[in-house]
Amino acid sequence: MKPRIGITCARGDAAPDRYTLHSGYVEAIAAHGGLAVLLPCLPEADPAEYLDAVDGLLLSGGGDLDPAHFGEEPRVWNGRIDPVADVFELELARRFLAAGRPVLGICRGMQVLNVAAGGDLYQDLREDAGTTLQHDQQAPPWYGTHAVDVAEGSGLRAILQEGRVRVNSFHHQAVRRVAPGFLPAARAADGVIEAIERPGGAFTIGVQWHPERMHPACRASRRLFAAFVRACSGRDAASA
Ligand code: MN
């Protein structure tokens, strides 16, 4: 049986009554042997029921988290928030982490993972971290515009089999304080944390880039999805 992988959905700016998810997430999971299951957020949704419905969790990209979830007031550059999605995804992440089930966080999903586990975020990289590296690229999404150095000895390094990869970049926020139990797994040249992982258990990795937009032309992205789907199949639970 194919591993069932739950993928969170956003709700659109222009159409708040529609769930939205870029097809790249579904295609990447399907291409690596997983069965994609979309997880809609509802105010009354019980994340515990999704724990039973799927084998692993893919936290997808989207808007900004309400900084109240890491104890801050919103500053001027904080973007659009969806309070229902925030609560749903944070609780979903906590449930999967507590159960020791595979989790992959992508972009906002990595940020959700970090905050769910007790870390926090830069609300805006230019304002709060003073970086001049371009993290909101103008190039096409399949194209990696900046490099990341993958931490030696990390699970991510073992999966990607490369110490430096070029990644796309569509974010103005980033992980600031890494959650307890997690480690930074990759950094950009300006020091911005581009990946995190929780060692010692099931596959638990967050990446700040969008491998679902790169995978057809990027071996490292394919290796990441392959390792995640394999972990969700239960055959290789310690691969991360
Ligand atoms: Mn970046």
8-65 per-position pLDDT tens digit: 998 876 777 889 999 999 999 999 999 999 999 888 888 888 998 999 999 999 999 9
More confident residue, 238 or 49: 49
3-state SS assignment for residue 191: coil
Answer positive or negative: Cα dihedral of 216, 109, 182, 189: positive
- Closest CA relative to residue 67, chosen from 169, 176, 182: 176
Find where tokens 């905050």 sit.
Answer: 115
> What is the average pLDDT across 87-104?
96
Whole-number Å distance between alpha carbons of 189 and 234: 35
Whole-number Å distance between alpha carbons of 94 and 47: 9
Residue of 9, 32, 89, 107 marked active site = 107
Residue of 41, 212, 218, 232 marked active site = 212
Q: Which residues contact 225 (CB under 8 A, 6 or more apart)?
A: 28, 29, 31, 32, 211, 212, 215
Contact 192, 228 (CB under 8 A): no
Residues 229, 21, 86, CA angle at the centre, nearest 5°? 90
Residue 239's pLDDT band, with cuts at 50, 70 and 90, is very low
Strands (E), 111-207: 121-122, 146-150, 164-167, 174-175, 183-188, 193-197, 204-207
> What is the average pLDDT across 171-183?
98
Domains defined for the chain, CATH in brackets? 4-232 (3.40.50.880)
Whole-number Å distance between alpha carbons of 117 and 106: 15
Q: Tell me the C-alpha to C-alpha distance, in Å, between residue 84 and each of 8, 54, 128, 228.
A: 12, 21, 26, 27
pLDDT tens, residue by residue, 109-148: 999 999 999 999 999 999 998 898 999 999 999 999 999 9
Residue 240 pLDDT > 50: no
Is 107 a known active-site residue? Answer: yes
Q: What integer pLDDT is reported at residue 235 of this predicted model?
A: 63
Q: What integer pLDDT is reported at residue 55 of this predicted model?
A: 97
Is 210 a known active-site residue? Answer: yes
Position 37, amino acid = V
According to DSSP, the residues that pair with 10 across neighbouring strands are 20
* d(CA 146, ligand 1 centre) in Å: 7
Whole-number Å distance between alpha carbons of 181 and 183: 7
Q: What integer pLDDT is reported at residue 238 of this predicted model?
A: 44
Residue of 41, 210, 218, 232 marked active site = 210
Find where tokens 């990209």 sit.
Answer: 61
> What is the average pLDDT across 65-85?
94
Residue 181 pLDDT > 80: yes
* d(CA 194, ligand 1 centre) in Å: 6
Whole-number Å distance between alpha carbons of 212 and 141: 9
Q: What integer pLDDT is reported at residue 46 of this predicted model?
A: 86
pLDDT tens, residue by residue, 194-237: 999 999 999 999 999 999 999 999 999 999 999 999 999 986 54
The end-to-end CA distance of the chain, in Å, is 22
